Chains A and B, each alone.
Chain A
Amino acid sequence: MNKTHTRLDIIKSGLGKRYAKERLFKALGFSAIVIALAMLMVLFTTIIGNGYSAFQQTFIKLDITFDEAVIDPDKTLDPDVLAGADYSGIVKKSLRKVFPDVKKRKQKRDLYSLASQGAAYQLRAMVLENPSVIGTTQSLWVPADDDVDMYMKGHIQGGESSSRINQDKLDWINVFKGNSAIEKKFNIALFTNGDSREPELAGIWGAVAGSLYTMVVTLLLSFPLGVATAVYLEEFAPKNIWTDIIEVNINNLAAVPSIVFGLLGLAVFLNFFSLPRSAPMVGGLVLTLMTLPTIIITSRVALQSVPPSIREGALGVGASKMQSVTHHVLPLALPGMLTGTIIGMARALGETAPLLMIGMVAFIVDIPTGILDKATVLPVQIYLWADSPERAFVERTSAAIMVLLAFLLIMNSLAVVLRRKFERRW
Chain B
Amino acid sequence: MKKIAIILSAGVFMLIAGFSSITVAAGRDYISIVGSSTVYPFSTVVAEQFGRATNFKTPKVEATGSGGGLKLFCSGVGISLPDIANSSRRIKKSEVELCAKNGIKEITEIKIGYDGIVLANAASSKRMKISSKEIFLSLAKDVPSGVGESLIPNPYRTWKDINPALPSAKIEVLGPPPTSGTRDAFSELAMEGGCSEFKWIKALKKKDKKKYKAICHAVREDGAYIEAGENDVLIVKKLEANPEAFGIFGFSFLDQNEDRVQGSIIDGQEPTFENISAGMYPVSRALYFYVKKAHVGIIPGIKEYIAEFASDKAVGEEGYLIDKGLIPMPENEMEQFRKDGEMLKNLSL
Contacts and interface: CB of A to CB of B under 8 A. Distances in A.
Contact of A389 (B15, B28, B32, B253): B253
A372 interface: yes
A225 B252 contact: no
B41 A388 contact: yes
B11 A224 contact: yes
A277 B318 contact: no
Contacts of A276: 22, 26, 28, 80
A170 interface: no
Interface stretch (A61-69, A241-249, A326-334, A344-352): A326-334
B89 to A, nearest CB: 20
B80 A365 contact: no
A326 B1 contact: yes
A331 B1 contact: yes
A365 B62 contact: no
A389 B61 contact: no
B210 interface: no
Given A361-B63, A374-B30, A389 B233 contact: yes
Interface in A220-261: 220-221, 223-225, 228
B23 interface: yes
B259 A389 contact: no
Interface residues of B, number: 51
A374 B60 contact: yes
B187 interface: no
B40 A363 contact: yes
A365 B58 contact: yes
Contacts of A327: 1
Residue of B20, B257, B323 most packed against chain A (CB within 10 A): B257
A362 B15 contact: no
A225 B233 contact: no
Given A197-B45, A366-B51, 17 more contacts: A163-B258, A197-B324, A224-B8, A275-B22, A275-B23, A276-B26, A276-B80, A277-B80, A326-B2, A330-B1, A362-B63, A364-B58, A365-B47, A388-B41, A389-B232, A389-B257, A390-B256
Interface of A: 109, 113, 121, 156-157, 161-164, 196-198, 217, 220-221, 223-225, 228, 270, 273-278, 281, 326-327, 330-331, 359, 361-366, 372, 374, 384, 386-391, 394
14 contacts: A109-B318, A197-B45, A197-B48, A221-B12, A224-B11, A276-B22, A277-B80, A278-B60, A361-B63, A387-B37, A388-B233, A389-B41, A389-B253, A389-B257
